[in-house]
Amino acid sequence: MDLRAELLKSIWYAFTALDVEKSGKVSKSQLKVLSHNLYTVLCIPHDPVALEEHFRDDDDGPVSSQGYMPYLNKYILDKVEEGAFVKENFDELCWTLTAKKNYKPDRNGNSVVSHQDAFKLWCLFNFLSEDKYPLVMVPDEVEYLLKKICTAMNVELNSCELEDYLSQEPQGQGGLTVWQFLDMVNSGRFLRGIEQEAVSMAVEEVYQEVIEDHSFDLHVSRAQGYLWKKGQLRRNWSERWFMLKPSVLSYYMSEERKEKKGSIALDKHCCVEVLPDRDGKRCMFCVKTSSRTYEMSASDTRQRQEWTLAIQTAIRLQAEGKKSLHKDLKQKRREQREQREQRKAAKEEETQRLKQLQEEKERKLQELELLKEAQRQAEILLQEEEQRRRQQHEEMQRTLEIQLREAEQARASMQAEMVLKEAEAERQRKRILELEDMQERLQEALQQEVKARQDEEAVRYAQARLLAEEEEKLKQLMKLKEEQEEYIIKTQREKQVLKQEMENKNKCLEEAQKQLEEVRVNRQRVDQDVMAAQRKLRQASTNVKHWNVQMNRLMHPIGPGDKRTNVSGGVFAGYQPLLSRKDSSLK
């Protein structure tokens, strides 16, 4: 349901609470105060001009709900923005107004729920109630809400006792009002021996799950219970405690959830299928993922239907990206109720038609009996007439014979008519048999259609999965093709670069060869210069040796005599280092 419908439900309670005389109308002063408070809690800018203009006192009489709706829609509901206000504050305002008048807890303090818990149950009632006024909650939704509260306390609800209570309780428009529901909870009939604190915690848990998650984001959907699960390796059956969340189905050793045995990730590629009974297990179904198939067994058909519906809803919400699981589950339950009512109406219509056919058959039989009785009476009259004619005079014999012939003709026509009536009755009997046979064939066709729809749904799931896989492979192929084209272009570019580099290297090689030739020529030239220098060096060395010999010869005769020796030593002493340096330079 949208935000406007949710707000209207709470405002309806506030409006009816202000209707003290139950006339369907509320005074303008009270509606003025109510509108002002709605402006405040809904965080809408106040419009005092429009408020005073609409509720001015120049006309007589209070305002009905139909008269208040135009102002409510135009100046309040049309300006409400989701997320701009606190929904709980708005609900508390409307609850405060309606609880003062209608909610009557036990004055001795023996109520099962506190005032705050009654407010939360009132909010849950508004969420699960039908979208028709006055607001009521159908018995299926009452059982659903009580089951969730009992499940939160690990207590099993007595469904038979609830059905007895609902059958005895007067229901208006096919359901309970919120005050009847609160009285039923406060009576303690279904929560015997449970402390108020435990009930308060359970109501808080269900409130957080349904209302808070519905108002903001998808949190935890507590579809939970025991199921039998088939193992993957040992292929044996084990009882596990399953808990369904929007994106995963987890299973534990027991309901205390201390030892987690595994989990099943739910996505758009998963599907749920109903399986035939086998291996001594009944009410079987399976959850198929992209990597594995999980087989499970429920205790009865109803539990299997609830689990398959909840898992399919979670998978569909994951695929569609929706956030409100409880809203979708509520819509599913409503559709199932409508289908049951339609089937019930069709069955009643068929029963009525068969009843009419039976009445028609009985009427035809009665007509046939009347015809037989008329025939017997006619035969009796005819016999009496014949006896009376025999006693008459012979003069009347011919006349009697003529009348007798006429009577025989009438009798023949009557017998022919009787044969026609019997044939008509036989046709009616055959028609009734044909209708009964047709009813059996229609039931068989209905069962075949249900099975065909289930098969069609399974094929549709498989087809969707194959299409998704084919699309993914096509995307991978296109990606590989693009990478191949990019690699070819890159290879061509690298080939051109290598070709350019090869040409540059060839040019550099040619230049290096030219330089090498020049170096070789220069080396030959240097070698020639070195050889010439060596020749000059050898020649210079020869000259030095020659000059040394000459010097030694010149110095040798002047040897004797000390004075001459010193003189000669002083003269040639400066030549010796000079000769040494020259010799070293030549070397």
pLDDT of residue 557: 58
CB atoms within 10 A of CB 176: 24
Q: What is the pLDDT of residue 5?
A: 84
Strand partners, 272: 287
Assign residue 392 a region (left: φ > 0; alpha: ψ between -120 and 50; beta: otherwise): beta
Tell me if 388 is assigned to some domain.
no
Q: How far apart are CA 170 and CA 83, in angstroms?
A: 39
> Are 409 and 356 contacting, i.e. CB atoms less than 8 angstroms apart?
no
- Domain assignment present for residue 290? The answer is yes
Q: 42: helix, coil or strand? A: coil
Q: Return the closest-CA partner of residue 91 out of 116, 108, 66.
A: 116
Mean pLDDT for 486-508 is 90
Q: Are 47 and 74 in contact (CB under 8 A)?
A: no
14-42, pLDDT tens digit by residue?
888 888 777 878 888 888 888 888 888 88
Decide if pLDDT at 216 tops 50.
no
Contacts of 117 (CB under 8 A, 6+ apart): 199, 200, 203, 204
Between CA 19 and CA 62 the distance in angstroms is 10
Q: Is 272 helix (H, G, I), strand (E, B) or coil?
A: strand
Asked if the model's pLDDT at residue 358 lies above 50, the reply is yes
Q: Which two tokens stand for residue 551?
A: 């010097």
The yes-or-no verdict on residue 44 having pLDDT over 80 is yes
pLDDT at 263 over 50: yes
Measure Cα distances from 41 to 45, 80, 217 in Å.
Answer: 11, 11, 22
Cα dihedral sign, 392-393-394-399? negative
**Does the pTM of the predicted model rise above 0.75?**
no
Structural domain contains residue 70: yes
Decide if 68 is inside a domain.
yes
pLDDT surpassing 90 at residue 288: yes
Residue-wise pLDDT tens digits, 423-448: 998 999 998 998 988 888 888 888 88
User: What confidence category does residue 341 fall into, taking pLDDT thresholds of 50, 70 and 90?
Assistant: confident
Better-scored residue on pLDDT, 212 or 20 = 20
Residue 492, pLDDT above cutoff 50: yes
- Give the pLDDT score at 244: 86
Domain final residue, candidates 284, 306, 323 = 323
Residue 15's contacts (CB-CB under 8 Å, 6 or more residues apart) are 26, 34, 65, 68
The answer to whether position 83 is within a domain reads: yes
What's the half-sphere exposure (Cβ side, CA atoms, 13 Å) at 44? 22
Q: Residue 22 gets which letter from DSSP?
A: -
384 falls within a domain: no
Kindly state whether residue 223 falls inside one of the protein's structural domains.
yes
pLDDT at 220 over 60: no
Closest CA to 16 of 178, 181, 215: 178
pLDDT in tens, 379-398: 999 888 888 877 877 888 78
pLDDT category of residue 559 using cuts at 50, 70 and 90: low
At residue 391, the pLDDT reads: 80
| 162-203 confidence digits (pLDDT tens) | 787 777 766 555 778 888 888 888 877 777 667 778 888 888
CA distance 382 to 409: 12
Report d(CA 292, CA 294) in Å as an integer: 7
> Does residue 309 have a pLDDT over 70?
yes
Task: Look at the chain and report how many structural domains it folds into.
Answer: 2
Average pLDDT over residues 263-286: 90
Q: Is residue 108 scored above 70 in pLDDT?
A: no
Output the domain CATH number for residue 266: 2.30.29.30
Of 43, 72, 102, the residue that ends a domain is 102
- Residue 110's pLDDT is what? 66
Assigned token pair, 227: 């199921």
Helical segments of 256-321, H only? 301-320
Mean pLDDT along residues 118-136 = 85
Q: Which domain holds residue 24?
A: 1-102
The rounded distance, in Å, linking the Cα atoms of 267 and 229 is 20
Tell whether the model's pLDDT for residue 80 goes beyond 70. yes
Q: Residue 106, Cα to own-chain centre: how many angstroms? A: 42
Question: Residue 573's pLDDT band (boundaries 50, 70, 90)?
Answer: very low
Q: Which of 40, 73, 102 is the last residue of a domain?
A: 102
Strand order in the sheet with 260-265: 260-265, 248-252, 237-244, 223-230, 293-297, 284-288, 271-275
Res 72 pLDDT > 50? yes
The DSSP output letter for 82 is T
pLDDT-above-70 percentage for the chain: 86
81 inside domain: yes
